[in-house]
Structure 1
Amino acid sequence: MAHNNNNNNVCLCSICTDIPNPKVCLHLSLAPCCPWSCTTINDDDNNEPCTAAIMGLKRKHVQQQKTNVVSRKKTKTYNDEDWEIKKVLTESDSFGVTCRLLIGKKLAEELVVPVLVGDVAKGIEVKIWDCDTNTMYFLTFKKFISGSYGFNGNWTKDFVARRGLKTGDLIGLHWDQYNKCFDFSILEVNHHYS
């Protein structure tokens, strides 16, 4: 909605009212928000639009959109039985030269391979959403020469080191069909292993 103030159109939409003395509509859409042109003349700036207000409000609007995405994802909760893949981490999952997250052959062929597109022997990049920290990472799911399946790539850096994973910790994975990613969580920390 716009208001005519001394022949200067001022947008009074919900976004633009967040700044004092609104002069410019900052909708991030291609359609106008009101019947008047939202770009208005700022009498104090010799007919130049208030660009500082525009940039500040655009940043605020983009931050709100990012926060809303995280909030929507954050509200998703799982019960213990919802985690389709549960794994107690072994020495090879959390330490050593071959540090990777191995998945049992039966679980991999029933729950992972069918939801991925590509050649598993060459490796397929997979999005992994860490539900505990609300962050997204990418791992490579692969069928190794030995015939076993697992996630590698940045597993050591993005999960083992960042989350402080240890042998004996119980983790869970669940395929999120809507977001086309695996959700990840630490379900139980092994306090007895140092």
Structure 2
Amino acid sequence: MRPVPRHEEEEKDDAGISTKLTLLRDPWSFKKQLKASDVDGSSRLLLAASFVHDHVLKEKGEEMVGQVKSRAGKKVPVWDADTSSKHQLTFGCWESTNGYVLKGSWKPQFVIRRRLVVGDEIGMFWDEREQMFYFKVLHKVA
């Protein structure tokens, strides 16, 4: 029997119950490598329509869908998981392309504050219970 390296040992309490945490799935259902239009241009982050349809607006009432597709959009909280901070953005739909965006203070609250640049990879998911997006920088370019 080979010795188990320290990093592979499971911690167990007095009752023999493991405290090792194993994630069963990747929570970041939306991943994006940032483009120039996400960080340099207007203050908005373009979201994939498939992500929005499958993970955010799926089985939503007409009220929320109507707010998102309205000219004003819907104010939503966005939790930055890296800095444990909450920010308000507007979740909306661009009629010309039927694309979805997070806009408003995207640039100052995320691009500038987090020093995001072209090529950085971000992850997001929608928390149905909390009714907010969660955001994380998954990879920074060197």
Q: TM-score if structure 1 supplies the norm length?
A: 0.54
Which runs of structure 1 show a deviation greater than 3 angstroms over 4 or more consecutive aligned residues? none
Rg bigger for which structure? 1
Letter in 2 for 1:108: V
In terms of fraction of residues, the more strand-rich structure is: 2
Aligned-partner Cα distance in 2 for 1:79–1:159: 29
Q: Deviations over 1:36-73 (max 9, x none)?
A: xxxxxxxxxxxxxxxxxxxxxxxxxxxxxxxxxxxxxx
Task: Report the alpha carbon displacement of residue 176 of structure 1 after superposing the two structures with TM.
Answer: 2.1
After superposition, the Cα gap between the structure-2 partners of 1:159 and 1:79, relative to the gap in structure 1 and judged at 3 Å, is farther
SS at match of 2:57: helix
Residue identity (%): 35
Residue equivalent to 1:121: 69
Query: Is the 8 Å Cα contact of residues 43 and 105 (structure 2) preserved in structure 1?
Result: no
Aligned-partner Cα distance in 1 for 2:77–2:43: 19
Query: Is the 8 Å Cα contact of residues 129 and 183 (structure 1) preserved in structure 2?
Result: yes
Q: Which has the higher contact order (CA 8 A, sep 6+)?
A: 2
Q: Deviations over 1:150-185 (max 9, x none)?
A: 100110110001100111111011122332211110
Aligned-partner Cα distance in 2 for 1:178–1:138: 17
Query: Is the 8 Å Cα contact of residues 113 and 120 (structure 1) preserved in structure 2?
Result: no
1:111 aligns with 2:55: yes
Give the alignment of 1:19-38 within 5 angstroms.
none
Q: How many residues align?
A: 113
Residue equivalent to 1:93: 38
Letter in 2 for 1:107: F
Give the alignment of 1:168-183 within 5 angstroms.
168-183=119-134
In terms of fraction of residues, the more helix-rich structure is: 1
